[in-house]
Amino acid sequence: MPRKETPLFSLALIVAALGYFVDIYDLLLFTIVREPSLVGIGVDKNNAREMLTASTKIINWQMLGLLIGGIVWGIMGDKKGRLSVLFGSILLYSVANFLTGFVQTVDQYATARFVAGLGLAGELGAGITLVSELLPKEKRGIGTSLVAGIGLFGAVGAYFTFEFTNENWRLCYQIGGGLGILLLLLRIKVAESGMFHEVKASNVSRGNMLMFINDRRRFRKYALAILIGLPTWYVIGVLVNLSNRFAGELYGTNAIVSGRAIMWAYVGIALGDIGIGFVSQAFRSRKKALYLFYALTILGGVLFFSSWNNSDFRMYLVCGYLGFSTGFWAIFVTMGAEQFGTNLRATAATTIPNMVRGALPLINLMFKDLFQDSWGWALLQSAIVTGILVMAITLVAAYFTEETFHKDLNYVEE
């Protein structure tokens, strides 16, 4: 019997978007409050290496939590349901973020962010999977783009919360935890995916991670789905996050605040994520939309490292533009969901973006530990070469990735 068509602006889409808003608020809060929070727990502000080491340790632990959590929540999403993940993940990261407001040492901070990362890992994949399965294929690209686009404004919310609380970073974390708990109340009325109910009633294997590696075709699709998303976290995790240091190298004395740069980048990402859904719809292709945004990202990288980028205004402008150009997160995650059958879809859609987030420590390892610390390269040289390698890998992966725009999602993996 055919399923009743869900309207584009359904409760599920609204709740998924608001859930991702809180997710991004909490995920990006550390990068916004990085310096004052590190100083607040005793890290020497005047010791650049100590600040960078502490910052890298905390963000790496957060990303490791996202990586592990992505696997756990993804499996649960296919075994227990999309809504179970939405409830469980937000409860975990809300409690963890509230407790982050009380940390006193770098190790405590890293531990709290690791636990928060575990919780944050489940939000986007479960939301994208639910919306993808509820909407008809003609609307799901726009629907998932709206989820991501609206949600990504959570970074803007985090920045202004920091400003309005007089830069009280502890209170910001506690507010994030409270927002998550409030969101749980709204989720009570959201219905589970009909496709999941059908698969649950069958005997097909669900949420089996081994199925991604025991079949050559599936493993290839899974690996490619991860690699096409790498540029986003290179841009945010390296260029924008360290924009004040790059400004010092590019034009000397500056007043760049990395939290503000991240805020402008996420305004751009949010607009890009909304826009790419309509671009994909116009092209009738996910891949063509990706190629367009990859070209914009390359142009943004050239502008970032050029002599044109010679003032604080232009640095913020380039960060905003780079954010827009990497606003393909929604389409990238949607393609991950569309690549696999209903019995593996939540696992794929949840693990794939978190594998990309989890790749940031590897990018940092190459950028900082190998190129700078071991080989002695300068900051700019290390960042440029890292960016070239990331984009080269991504372009090759995109070329071999399957087009999924017209794909029917009502099938299972055997």
Q: Identity (one letter) of the amino acid at 148? A: A
Rounded to whole angstroms, the Cα distance separating 239 from 159 reads: 18
Helix (H, G, I), strand (E, B) or coil at 254: coil
CA dist 126 and 81 (Å) reads 9
Mean pLDDT in residue range 53-59: 88
Rounded to whole angstroms, the Cα distance separating 34 from 22 reads: 18
- Looking at 72-81, 239-248, 271-280, 288-297, which range is the least confident one? 72-81
Q: Is the pLDDT of residue 350 over 90?
A: no
Q: Residue 198 corresponds to which tokens in the numbers above?
A: 């059908």
Coil/strand/helix, residue 20: helix
Identify the residue whose tokens are 């007043």.
255
Nearest CA among 235, 311, 324, 274 for reference residue 149: 274
Percent of the chain's residues with pLDDT above 70: 95
Superfamily of domain 11-186+207-400: MFS general substrate transporter like domains (1.20.1250.20)
Residues 6+ apart with CB under 8 A from 81: 192, 193, 196, 200
Task: Give the C-alpha separation, 204 to 410, whole Å.
Answer: 14
Count of CB atoms situated within 10 Å of the CB of 50 = 14
How far, in Å, CA of 17 to CA of 338, rounded? 19
What is the overall mean pLDDT for the chain? Answer: 88
| pLDDT of 187 above 80 | no
9 close to 110: Cβ distance less than 8 angstroms: no
Q: How far apart are CA 292 and CA 302, in angstroms?
A: 16
Q: Is 209 exposed, middle or buried (0-12, 13-18, 19+ CB in 10 A)?
A: middle
Q: How far, in Å, CA of 227 to CA of 369, rounded? A: 22
pLDDT at 194 over 70: no
* The pLDDT of residue 97: 92
Give the HSE-up count for residue 358: Cα atoms under 13 Å, Cβ half-sphere: 20
Q: Residue 386 above 60 pLDDT?
A: yes
Q: In the predicted model, what is the mean pLDDT of residues 232-255?
A: 93
With beta carbons less than 8 A apart as the criterion, state whether 343 and 78 touch. Answer: yes
Average pLDDT, integer, range 166-191: 85
| Whole-number Å distance between alpha carbons of 303 and 299 | 6
More confident site: 279 or 64: 279
Q: How confident is the model at residue 2 (pLDDT cuts 50, 70, 90)?
A: very low
As given in the structure block, the two tokens for residue 119 are 């919780």
Q: Fill in the DSSP letter of residue 194.
A: H
pLDDT at 5 over 70: no
Ranking 66-75, 204-213, 302-311 by mean pLDDT, the lowest is 204-213
pLDDT at 1: 40
The pLDDT of residue 3 is above 60:
no
Instruction: Please count the other Cβ atoms lying within 10 Å of the Cβ belonging to residue 318.
Output: 26
Give the pLDDT mean for 110-130: 87
The listed range with the strongest mean pLDDT (58-72, 81-95, 287-301) is: 287-301
Residue 177 has pLDDT above 60, yes or no: yes
Region 129-150: mean pLDDT is: 81
Which DSSP string corresponds to 332-354? Answer: HHHHHHHTS-TTTHHHHHHHHHH
Instruction: Say which range, 120-124, 152-156, 320-324, has the weakest mean pLDDT.
Output: 120-124
Q: How confident is the model at residue 59 (pLDDT cuts 50, 70, 90)?
A: confident
| Greater pLDDT, 122 or 286 | 286
Token pair for residue 337? Answer: 């969901």
Residue 4 confidence (pLDDT) = 53
